[in-house]
Amino acid sequence: MRFLTAGESHGPQLTGIVEGLPSQLPLTVEDINPWLKKRQGGYGRGRRMVIETDTVEFMSGVRAGRTTGAPVTLVIKNSDYRNWVEIMDPAPGNEPRKKALTAARPGHADLAGGVKYGHKDLRDVLERASARETAMRVAIGAIAHKLLSFFGVESASFVDGMAGVWSQVPFDWSLKERIEASPVRMTDPQAEAEVIRRIDEAKAAGDTLGGIIEARFKGLVMGLGSQMHWERKLDGRIAQMVMSIPAIKGVEIGPGFSNAMKPGSQVHDPIYWEEGRGYYRQSNRSGGTEAGMTTGEELVVRAALKPIATLMKPLPTVDVVTHQPADAARERSDVTAAPAASVILEALVGIVLAQAYLEKFGGDTLDELVERVERYKQRVLAY
């Protein structure tokens, strides 16, 4: 399964093409739109989320509520485009255009992208660098999750800590409903209240906040990925996908960073076997992978989201046209996107896992895939 996305933050639409899905996968817009709504939510979001109500349209590859095996084309319209038609017009002329951006924002793609692609109006950089792009990848992730559901895979995501506040309530699958109801997607109501207070403080100060986000997956078969070649290692592929999310600056599988400071006897998970259950672990300090493959235990993916680079109280910068000192540009933005980023994390890791299932089990139809997965599960039990 492979995919491409296209579209700018203030262009007419976002477009995605997904190739390699099996035929006969039940699929409607209602499998995708709830994911888009979750991505738009979270305390601390900006006015753009009020303007947009993201919904997806199928343009190809889905008929009568199921995939045909052809490439699936998806479209998400940008409601705000009506206010940007002249500015985003692809026709030549009318330059310099309104809302040209020349004061590069520290921490954003503006300066490096402007130098790389030769743009002096940095809007030509930021329009694609914007996290708006992730809306389409979340839609594609929702399709991946629909496919994974037929293999018995479940997922969850949440904010573990932000604004200097850590959740003191450990994650449990019974807390999913509580997380979905939380405006900051946290397990701990006391931490949630303090985080909301600190978001309000940051907004008043013209500042922004990041956070630590986590996604979990259970029901995965053992052996997704491979140890045979570096580019087939599943945790490497997950890390690349996670690091492609705007503002993500670190990723770990399980407690990867804290494990690095411990002796091996306190890190590795002893192996057990039981009739009818097969191989299992009583701990999951590996986070669900060993040597680039799934262990069959829960997959735990954690990521560090830096604060958003657009500050309402801007940092010093240089104007790329005049080369004079300036205040960094101010675009409409969020105070924090950590809650939404946890949804994005869950969706995008799902894409990598769906790809891994399709690579391992093949099949032109959903029934073929399900049959092969079930047969493999029996083989693992008998090993």
Predicted local distance difference test score (pLDDT) of residue 48: 65
- pLDDT for 50: 67
Evaluate if pTM is beyond 0.95: yes
Question: Residue 212: what pLDDT?
Answer: 98
**Domain annotation covers residue 22:** yes
Strand ranges (E), the chain = 2-6, 13-19, 56-60, 62-63, 66-67, 72-77, 154-162, 165-166, 211-218, 248-253, 271-274, 278-281, 289-290, 293-294, 299-305, 316-318, 325-327
pLDDT (0 to 100) of residue 330: 87
Question: What's the pLDDT score for residue 338?
Answer: 97
Q: Which residues are annotated as a binding site for NADP(+)?
A: 39, 45
In a domain, 238, yes or no: no
Q: Would residue 266 count as lying in a domain? A: no
- Give the pLDDT confidence of 134-160 residue by residue, as tens digits: 999 999 999 999 999 999 999 999 999
Query: 56, 53, 138: which is closest to 344 by C-alpha?
Result: 138
CA distance 140 to 138: 5
According to the model, what pLDDT value does residue 46 have? 75
Residue 290 placed within a domain: no
Bind-site residues? 39, 45, 128-130, 291, 306-310, 332
Report the share of the chain in percent with pLDDT over 70: 99
Residues of the domain holding 128:
2-230+303-382
Best CA proximity match to 62, nearest among 54, 71, 52 = 71
In a domain, residue 346? The reply is: yes
User: Is 257 domain-assigned?
Assistant: no
Whether 245 maps to a domain, the answer reads: no
Q: What is the CATH number of the domain that holds 193?
A: 3.60.150.10
Q: Is residue 262 situated within a structural domain? A: no
Neighbouring C-beta atoms of residue 60, cutoff 10 Å: 12
Low-confidence ranges of the chain (pLDDT < 70): 47-50
The count of structural domains within the chain is 1
| pLDDT tens per residue, range 290-332 | 999 999 999 999 999 999 999 999 999 999 999 999 999 988 7
Tell me the binding residues for FMN: 128-130, 291, 306-310, 332
